Structure 1
């Protein structure tokens, strides 16, 4: 189901689906099974070596998962995809497939804190250095950072939680001149608002737990391959993909062409590590994808209205939302996110952490929890939770101030959301003199 033939709204419902051959079920069936029976010796051998396109084992080959991955790849404009147990698993698998101990990866410095922790902690222990650079650093800074062992450039379309939209086309040029792929986490934008492959990205990642599912019921991730990166032309950097094996087996490029990276990811990295998404979760994810465009339109309209309203509240010092004309990334958002700037609205309360405490505790309709992309609106004080393991100086360096609150705007009535936020801000205003007293005493 090609983009040239059908619109996004149609493809989100039909792409990648195959009718049940036995009974004609209209929905993609749930294949709740660990393995699959082989017809013969030769059938088993063929399923394992890839010459027979039938599933061998659900760790990487479940048909329900495969159908969902095909649909997501279609929506992103890729040649194929692989579902994983979480978005973090998708990132870890991708970079493990590209980089080994002693290698180097570049990344933009404004990222979801969980990704930064993964890079510093687990990849650091594995001997993979991930160097963080400001996305808008001059070209010469990026060029100077590239090494012979640099294996990827990683970024997010809309970095969470600060919403500082990145220039994907520029980063793609930097990566390709260096001879390595651009890997983009497109979770916050979703393929409805932005398709990074159209701007030069080579590999796209999602935490499918978020807007793609939409209902907050399952955890999952996906890796989507554009099929456009020149692995053969950069064989010295990626011998595992572009060169024959030590036993003389033809390279993944020779055997699988545009699917070389995805096949390597599925048959080597994912098979070795095994972060499998349960087919029950894939089935639930599929139900969410079918309404993605409708939900995103409402998410975006609610988010813009709430962000504009927050800008004019006395208790709010700053609002980070690139859909606002006042935002420094507004012009870039018009280029890369013309249908809307996502559904994360981050703001700073002027009263700091004590104001944030009162604000969070005063919410009644909005859920106090960590997650994104739910139909329900969610709120979290990031400094005491997601960024709580950092020092105050480290938080400030990431743009996380004492009063920073992140909202994931849901699908409720925007009037009701505003009323809940207004009640919480009124509580902040009423508590301000009380909250200020301990601060003054401490200063003395």
Structure 2
């Protein structure tokens, strides 16, 4: 596995070799909100005969449909925005059915565990998803409970309404933070100050997502104090809930990593991640304002 700056196409191209089996990107990176030029990435991947896999969790199909921009496989954590309420765990894999899998031996050669079945001969361009269901799903025994399936399907019914409100609220919160004197920096692709803003405008036609990362002035201590001071906002590690969530990654989800490894993961000591919910935006802003006052005393 090789990690590259996905917005550096030359670096991506140089990282590919005859052993590379896929290029994997996020439609909106978490937590730094990177937005890749998906069509350019797809072109590089396909020129090497490998598929582009896109994690579309943060954007959802409401904001972006990766298949329309060259993706071959799309994955979602249904636990996040698709379900929308943080009550069920699930995931999805969707195959575009447009990629040729002939060069992949596990798909194009007879499978002795399935009576010599050749997936590319039997299923053609749907060979990948057919093997995923027939082999990996069978071997891992993954089986969603009926109740989890029910809550996720129920959440999907309101996806468009929720995502619209998520994005509207996030834009208001990001603008509020960017203009606040107690804030060191703000990272949100809807802001003109974001390095990927132009790319975001190209691909994200219905909004820029609900994830904001930012840092209060005062560094690590102020960030810890801010997160502990919120009242309405929930201090949780998830994203994509109807309610607004906040976390300080350096002291929680990434605390086991060294400072060097945290930095390599895009985690700064002062970073706070906010998953903006669908509450009244004034309530979210009021809670952030009072928490920032507490943080300033750090």
- Report the 3-state secondary structure (helix = DSSP H, G, I; strand = E; otherwise coil) of the residue aligned with 2:22: strand
- Report the 3-state secondary structure (helix = DSSP H, G, I; strand = E; otherwise coil) of the residue aligned with 1:150: coil
Partner of 2:107: 241
Partner of 1:60: none
Residues in 2 aligned to 1:328 and 1:149: alpha-carbon distance in whole angstroms: 32
Q: Out of 50, 73, 77, which is 1:180 matched to? A: 50
Deviation per CA, 1:325-362: give whole Å up to 9, x if none. 12111110101101111000110122111101221121
Partner of 1:171: 41
Partner of 1:320: 187
Partner of 1:406: 273
Counterpart check, 1:304 vs 2:171: yes
Which aligned pairs between 1:8-407 and structure 2 lie closer than 5 A?
130-139=1-10, 141-232=11-102, 235=103, 238-245=104-111, 249-407=116-274
Residues in 1 aligned to 2:141 and 2:42: alpha-carbon distance in whole angstroms: 30
Q: Are 1:352 and 1:401, in contact at CA under 8 Å, matched by a contact in 2?
A: no
Residues in 2 aligned to 1:367 and 1:245: alpha-carbon distance in whole angstroms: 49
Per the TM alignment, residue 226 of structure 1 is displaced from its structure 2 partner at its CA by 0.6
State TM-score, norm by structure 2. Answer: 0.96
Deviation per CA, 1:352-404: give whole Å up to 9, x if none. 11101221121000001110100000000011111112111222333322211
Distance 1:383 1:167, change over 3 A: same
Per the TM alignment, residue 215 of structure 1 is displaced from its structure 2 partner at its CA by 1.2
The number of residue pairs the alignment matches comes to 297
Please say which of residues 241-250 and 159-168 is displaced more in the overlay: 241-250
Deviation per CA, 1:223-252: give whole Å up to 9, x if none. 1111011112xx2xx112123345973521
Q: Are 1:203 and 1:225, in contact at CA under 8 Å, matched by a contact in 2?
A: yes
Per the TM alignment, residue 176 of structure 1 is displaced from its structure 2 partner at its CA by 0.9
Partner of 1:121: none
Residues in 1 aligned to 2:133 and 2:9: alpha-carbon distance in whole angstroms: 36
Q: Are 2:32 and 2:187, in contact at CA under 8 Å, matched by a contact in 1?
A: yes
Q: Which runs of 5+ in 1 are unaligned?
A: 1-129, 436-444
Per the TM alignment, residue 426 of structure 1 is displaced from its structure 2 partner at its CA by 1.2
Please say which of residues 343-352 and 395-404 is displaced more in the overlay: 395-404
Q: Are 1:356 and 1:404, in contact at CA under 8 Å, matched by a contact in 2?
A: yes
Residues in 1 aligned to 2:143 and 2:2: alpha-carbon distance in whole angstroms: 29
- Report the 3-state secondary structure (helix = DSSP H, G, I; strand = E; otherwise coil) of the residue aligned with 1:151: coil
Residues in 1 aligned to 2:108 and 2:148: alpha-carbon distance in whole angstroms: 34
Q: Out of 285, 294, 298, which is 1:427 matched to? A: 294
Deviation per CA, 1:51-95: give whole Å up to 9, x if none. xxxxxxxxxxxxxxxxxxxxxxxxxxxxxxxxxxxxxxxxxxxxx
Residues in 2 aligned to 1:414 and 1:287: alpha-carbon distance in whole angstroms: 24
What CA RMSD, in Å, does the superposition of the two structures yield over aligned residues?
1.4
Residues in 1 aligned to 2:22 and 2:173: alpha-carbon distance in whole angstroms: 37
Please say which of residues 352-361 and 418-427 is displaced more in the overlay: 352-361
